[in-house]
Amino acid sequence: MSSSTVIVLDFETSGHSPGLGDRPIEVGAVRLEGNRIMDHFQELMNPGFPIGWFIESLTGISNQQIAQAPPCEEVMTRFADWIGDTPLIAHNAAFDRRFLDAELALIGRSRDNPMACTVLMARRILPEAPNHKLATLVHYCGIPTSGIFHRALADAEMTGRLWMTMTELLRERYKLDAIPFALMQHLSRISRTRVEHYLEKYCRQRQDHLNRAG
CB 1 within 8 A of CB 38: no
* Residues β-bridged to residue 116: 89
Residue 42 is given by DSSP the state E
pLDDT, averaged in runs of 10, over the chain (214 residues): 80 96 98 93 98 94 97 98 98 97 97 96 95 95 83 95 95 90 92 92 85 74
- Per-residue model confidence as pLDDT tens digits over 113-132: 999 999 999 999 999 999 99
| pLDDT value of residue 4 | 83
Burial 3-29 (b: 16+ CB within 10 A, else e): eebbbbbbbbbbeeebeeebbbbbbbb
pTM of the entire predicted model = 0.93
| pLDDT value of residue 214 | 64
| pLDDT value of residue 42 | 98
| pLDDT value of residue 2 | 45
Q: Judge residue 56's burial from the number of C-beta atoms within 10 Å of its C-beta, 0-12 exposed, 13-18 middle, 19 or more buried.
A: middle
What domains sit in the chain, N to C, each tagged with a CATH number?
A: 5-213 (3.30.420.10)
- Per-residue model confidence as pLDDT tens digits over 171-200: 999 988 889 999 999 999 999 899 999 999
Helices 118-125 and 93-106: angle between axes, nearest 10 degrees: 160
| CA distance linking residue 114 with residue 194, whole number of Å | 23
| pLDDT value of residue 3 | 52
